Structure 1
Amino acid sequence: MHDDNFSNAQVVRKTVIATEAGVVASQHRKAAQVGAAVLAAGGDAVDAAVATSFALGVVEPWMSGLAAGGCMVLWRADERRAHVVNYGMRSPRELDPKDYPLSGAGRNTDLFPWESVVGDRNVQGATAVAVPGVVSGMGLAHGRYGRKEWRELLGPAIALAQDGLLVDWYSGLVTASTARALSLDPDAAAMFLDEGRWPIMGAWTTTAERHLDQRALAASLRQVADGGPRALYEGALARALVADVRAKGGSLSEEDLAAYQAEWAEPLAIPYRGGHVYAAPGLTGGPTFAQALRLLEERLPAGGRGPDAQAYRALARSLDEAFRARLSGMGDHESAKAPGCTTHFSVVDRHGNMCAVTQTLLSIFGSRVVSPATGILLNNGIMWFDPEQGKPNSLGPAKRVLANYCPVVGVAADGRQFALGASGGRKILGAVLQLSSFLVDHGMSLEAAFHQPRIDVSGSGQVTADQSLAPEILQALAQEMPTATTRRTVFPYAFACPAGVLREDGRNMGCTEVMSPWGDAVAG
């Protein structure tokens, strides 16, 4: 019997279980298991973050990896304070804006609606590669707070890469979305495509498992494990990476890598409802998040019993105003429709130390170029810059990128503590704001907050709302600004893909985006 309403009757849920053990919530269960094992062995939250970060670069290669950049916000229970590690990308010092002439063909169709560049040199290929930061960032955090040996923490990622990612329907779906671009680079095609054209697909039976060939990546991870974080920036691995990038036309140099250092930064401490939410400063989503949170506190009366029409209207107005300020003052003009290829995970250990970690290659599969000597899929961080000169965030040499990732940690007035973040381009900020509000303003459980329908308002002057919201909420949003409805799906995501952990009364819990087929929270 066919039922036209069957799809509307489907319910997808993820159960949240409280535990006295630590928890890792990640967009890939295998990476979460790696981090949870570190926690179970007595590791600090930072140890688990390092192990999870490198494992994610193997099992979610199109999202992050050794060529990624990003940011970590930490909460140290013994210090009762937050810290930030910034490991954003930089443009190479030899980059010449004249090498990125405008084509006159209109606007680019990838993440950012910049004016198109001849040959998409700022989007695709080695000319789009920026200086990566994630290895330096993990090394900086580990140097201060790590308990476990660096080499030990990279061991699981090496093993995963040696075996190669087990492909399945979801990896095939993601790869199919970028197969044509991957086919343009022989080394990317060899790693991710069949016959240089088709996505490598998993079989329905376990007798015909297929794996990506990531053995070159495993060898690079061994060099980073044995030589420490600087091994990517100085020495044989750095020379091999630079040689490959330059052979394919990029401007990355050994000097760029040698000069790169992740940095500690003072977090933005945003007072909210008697507690604080801590976000990253500078060229991230943090300042815009801080403005939106302040506006929300002004517009939404305290003591909410649940997100009603008034609450969603306040969220929409606060996000819209904050994004208008961002777009006019910070030079961030990315398309609200493109998902980006970011990944986020959150960690809490049994002592209450927390990490909210976001890392990214920028576009899905980054520059769609693989370094053959190292097995590293390269970022396309140059696309973060506006190729038109004289604009906010214009392309230039040795410049920091303006990114939109927004990891946060929060300490609520009731004593609950949380770490949150998301992937999803410009949609990240709204997701983190709403989850923070659900937890703090409405006292929701972590499970309820992650299952609560969300909206997206990202500077386009309109609302994208989950169609499962109550009619009176949708009507209230439509009175505020033009509103379109959509549903949460597996791919592509209509909204951001968050991951978070929460600590309450000495017990920990975690959750990931409900529609993420790979995402999970694992206790250790």
Structure 2
Amino acid sequence: MASRCGLLFALLAMGAASGADRITGKPFATRSEVYAPHAMAATSQPLVTQIALDVMKQGGSALDAAVAADAALGLMEPTGSGVGGDLFAIVWDPKTHKLYGYNGSGRSPKSLTLAEFRKRGLTAIPPYGPLPVTVPGAVDAWFALHDRFGKLPMQDLLAPTIRYAREGFPVSEVIAYYWSASVPRLSKFPGFSEQFTRDGRGPRTGEMWKRPTLADTLQKIADGGRDAFYKGEIAHRIDAYFKANGGFLSYEDLATHHGDWVEPVSTNYRGYDIWELPPNGQGIATLQIMNLLEGYDLKHYGFGSPEHVHLFVEAKKLAFADRARFYADPDFYRTPVAELISKPYADQRRKLIDMDKAARVVAPGTPKALDEGDTVYLTTADANGMMVSLIQSNYRGMGSGMAPPGLGFIFQDRGEQFVLQQGHPNAFAPGKRPFHTIIPAFVTKAGKPWLSFGVMGGAMQPQGHAQILMNLIDFGMNLQEAGDAPRIQHDGSTEPEAQYQPMADGGEVDLESGFPYETVRALMRKGHSVRFADGPYGGYQAIMVNPQGGYIGASESRKDGQAAGY
């Protein structure tokens, strides 16, 4: 599919945009920010944004709106989410003036062992089928978050999705593209074709789509609570399905699942406190990148300059070397979080950055603590000041392909991110949470909420977070511009994330349309290998507190999304 931004760039170059309808004077096209006095929602599907706003208009909190929106995305954007996946969230509570984090990631089956993979001659966990399936944590997270911050009954929050699942909804453009692309890979798995294809294909843009099986599942959850999913009839049907299809996920795995409340961690970047969740997720990679970049005058260099791109890529390499070595389930490995996100550690690592030369070999650091370890994002904000940053995923696109008949959802393949290497912090083990890519983000300033945002897309997520922050803080862009600006993505030679070895050849720098060719030439002179990729570069949603009152919203043009408020 052609890049959505590529089309906008072409229109701008042709003079189709004017000062009356497009921001000018930039190497990219963008639209206006969205302003609202009371509440705001930003999601990757316009119908879902409207559901979130309806919930808040009915007296629901931002958390209620986020849960309702996430449930709807599982129906309308199954290419990135669903009740078969995991969920992470950060919530700003205006009553306590505090941030709360929830880690809703699931664990590996207790009956599956590292020895089983070796017996099968596998050196990596396959991306599809029953082996990468882990317990889905999203439903548990809905209820845990709702118990603390919700106002409306869960039945009211799930009702819009249940209605759309029974009556149908028109499939939007980007979602239709990725849905159709997933069909050839996943159709061989039991239950997928019956529930996610029509005449052997995915839905076309604008085509009406129903999923009554998901409506039935959500109705059981609405009526019976979280235990209807983890301990009731649904759990027994899941158990039987995996037993019949060579899987290991069991009723016991579901019945014993629990998510965890976690303390968000932060670093200060030029007066802004950036908040992420600690491992098993990769959020602290953003904090490491920003600490490294703080030592440079990026504003002086300017957006799109060779120095801007080079310094970002080199900082990313250093942070991701640590990510590969130290990020893992804290129940199995003590990641030295405080040391990794400290300023002195960044000062030490920054010495490895050469302004004139791209690093080709990057190894993890030695924190003192060790001297003796495809997705949807949405954000909501209500009239009382509560703000929610929520991200949810099945991992690789639509997930594992394993779709129990009659339940209407696909299980995630998050277990692919374990490594089959004994002794590694992220080595597979029974009942363990894998390294996780999905990360919500939040920014405060002087102890007050400033920004709730996220960027979808695997290893792109911390890279995207860092670029949004640079765009806003260093380059003075507004909230919409910051998301529409062309992006950088560095891929190490050993990625995707399932492989965890130090980068050995410098990797590849992907540049989205809009960077000057002079920058490309300068990067190549420094030794970077530059590619010109249409995508993927993630999917950004954001809500900022308007200092004049109310909120500012943004939803980037690479997705089908919408920011709206009232």
**Shorter-chain TM band:** 0.7 to 0.9
Shift of 1:481: 4.5
Counterpart amino acid of 1:519? G
Shift of 1:323: 1.1
Q: C-alpha separation between the residues in 2 aligned to 1:200 and 1:398?
A: 37
Percent of aligned pairs with the same amino acid: 26
Q: C-alpha separation between the residues in 2 aligned to 1:342 and 1:328?
A: 24
Is the 2:302–2:308 contact (alpha carbons within 8 Å) kept by the matching residues of 1? no
Is the 1:83–1:265 contact (alpha carbons within 8 Å) kept by the matching residues of 2? yes
Shift of 1:376: 2.1
Counterparts in 2 of 1:416 and 1:80: CA distance versus 1, 3 Å: closer
Shift of 1:479: 4.6
Name the residue aligned to 1:365. Answer: 398
Name the residue aligned to 2:510. Answer: 464
Q: C-alpha separation between the residues in 2 aligned to 1:128 and 1:238?
A: 18
Name the residue aligned to 2:115. Answer: 98
Q: C-alpha separation between the residues in 1 aligned to 2:175 and 2:203?
A: 8
Counterparts in 2 of 1:36 and 1:480: CA distance versus 1, 3 Å: farther
Shift of 1:39: 1.7
Is the 2:33–2:479 contact (alpha carbons within 8 Å) kept by the matching residues of 1? yes
Shift of 1:398: 0.4
CA RMSD, 1 decimal: 2.6
Shift of 1:408: 0.7
Q: Which of 339, 342, 356 is residue 375 of structure 2 equivalent to?
A: 342
Question: Is residue 228 of structure 2 the alignment partner of residue 231 of structure 1?
Answer: yes
Q: Secondary structure at the match of 2:191?
A: helix
Q: C-alpha separation between the residues in 2 aligned to 1:278 and 1:408?
A: 6
Name the residue aligned to 2:11. Answer: 10
Shift of 1:99: 3.0
Q: C-alpha separation between the residues in 1 aligned to 2:201 and 2:484?
A: 35
Question: Is residue 451 of structure 2 the alignment partner of residue 380 of structure 1?
Answer: no
Question: Is residue 158 of structure 2 the alignment partner of residue 154 of structure 1?
Answer: yes
Query: Per-residue displacement from partner, 1:133-163 (whole Å, max 9, x unpaired)?
Result: 0111121111111111111111111112112
Name the residue aligned to 2:458. Answer: 425
Name the residue aligned to 1:509. Answer: 552
Name the residue aligned to 1:112. Answer: none
Is the 2:279–2:327 contact (alpha carbons within 8 Å) kept by the matching residues of 1? no
Query: Per-residue displacement from partner, 1:175-200 (whole Å, max 9, x unpaired)?
Result: 332222222124211122234x3334
Q: Which of 282, 285, 288 is residue 282 of structure 2 equivalent to?
A: 285
Name the residue aligned to 2:532. Answer: 486
Q: Which of 49, 52, 61 is residue 35 of structure 1 equivalent to?
A: 52
Counterpart amino acid of 1:494? P
Query: Per-residue displacement from partner, 1:72-123 (whole Å, max 9, x unpaired)?
Result: 0122233222111000121011113333247769xxxxxxxxx456xxxx42
Q: Which of 240, 247, 250 is residue 250 of structure 1 equivalent to?
A: 247
Is the 1:268–1:286 contact (alpha carbons within 8 Å) kept by the matching residues of 2? no
Q: Which aligned pairs between 1:114-513 and structure 2 lie closer than 5 A?
A: 115-116=123-124, 122-167=126-171, 170-195=174-199, 197-201=200-204, 209-212=207-210, 214-300=211-297, 308-330=305-327, 341-412=374-445, 417-460=450-493, 461=506, 462-486=508-532, 488=534, 493-505=535-547, 506-513=549-556
Q: C-alpha separation between the residues in 2 aligned to 1:81 and 1:265?
A: 13
Counterparts in 2 of 1:502 and 1:158: CA distance versus 1, 3 Å: same
Shift of 1:48: 0.9
Q: C-alpha separation between the residues in 2 aligned to 1:136 and 1:324?
A: 32
Shift of 1:233: 0.9
Q: Secondary structure at the match of 1:199?
A: coil
Q: C-alpha separation between the residues in 2 aligned to 1:414 and 1:66?
A: 34
Is the 2:35–2:565 contact (alpha carbons within 8 Å) kept by the matching residues of 1? no
Q: C-alpha separation between the residues in 2 aligned to 1:327 and 1:523?
A: 40
Counterpart amino acid of 2:312? L
Counterpart amino acid of 1:439? L
Decide which moves more: 95-104 or 431-440. Answer: 95-104
Query: Per-residue displacement from partner, 1:429-460 (whole Å, max 9, x unpaired)?
Result: 11111101222233321012112222112444
Shift of 1:500: 1.3
Counterparts in 2 of 1:34 and 1:168: CA distance versus 1, 3 Å: closer
Q: C-alpha separation between the residues in 2 aligned to 1:287 and 1:316?
A: 16
Name the residue aligned to 2:349. Answer: none
Q: Secondary structure at the match of 1:435?
A: helix
Q: C-alpha separation between the residues in 1 aligned to 2:469 and 2:304?
A: 12
Is the 1:273–1:302 contact (alpha carbons within 8 Å) kept by the matching residues of 2? no
Is the 1:407–1:421 contact (alpha carbons within 8 Å) kept by the matching residues of 2? yes
Q: C-alpha separation between the residues in 1 aligned to 2:448 and 2:308?
A: 23
Question: Is residue 523 of structure 2 the alignment partner of residue 520 of structure 1?
Answer: no
Shift of 1:305: 7.1
In the alignment, structure 1 segments of 5+ residues that lack a partner are 106-114, 204-208, 333-340
Q: C-alpha separation between the residues in 2 aligned to 1:147 and 1:178?
A: 37
Q: C-alpha separation between the residues in 1 aligned to 2:309 and 2:448?
A: 25
Query: Per-residue displacement from partner, 1:178-237 (whole Å, max 9, x unpaired)?
Result: 222222124211122234x3334357xxxxx5424x111101100111112232111222
Q: C-alpha separation between the residues in 2 aligned to 1:456 and 1:293?
A: 16
Name the residue aligned to 1:76. Answer: 93
Q: C-alpha separation between the residues in 2 aligned to 1:523 and 1:407?
A: 21
Counterpart amino acid of 2:139? V
Q: C-alpha separation between the residues in 2 aligned to 1:172 and 1:305?
A: 37
Counterpart amino acid of 2:515? L
Q: Secondary structure at the match of 2:59?
A: coil
Q: State the TM-score, normalized to the length of structure 1.
A: 0.86
Q: Secondary structure at the match of 2:385?
A: coil
Is the 2:510–2:533 contact (alpha carbons within 8 Å) kept by the matching residues of 1? no
Counterparts in 2 of 1:311 and 1:124: CA distance versus 1, 3 Å: closer
In the alignment, structure 2 segments of 5+ residues that lack a partner are 1-5, 13-28, 330-373, 494-505
Counterparts in 2 of 1:328 and 1:262: CA distance versus 1, 3 Å: closer
Q: C-alpha separation between the residues in 1 aligned to 2:270 and 2:381?
A: 23
Q: Secondary structure at the match of 2:294?
A: helix
Is the 2:281–2:328 contact (alpha carbons within 8 Å) kept by the matching residues of 1? no
Name the residue aligned to 2:342. Answer: none
Q: C-alpha separation between the residues in 1 aligned to 2:445 and 2:116?
A: 50
Shift of 1:397: 0.7
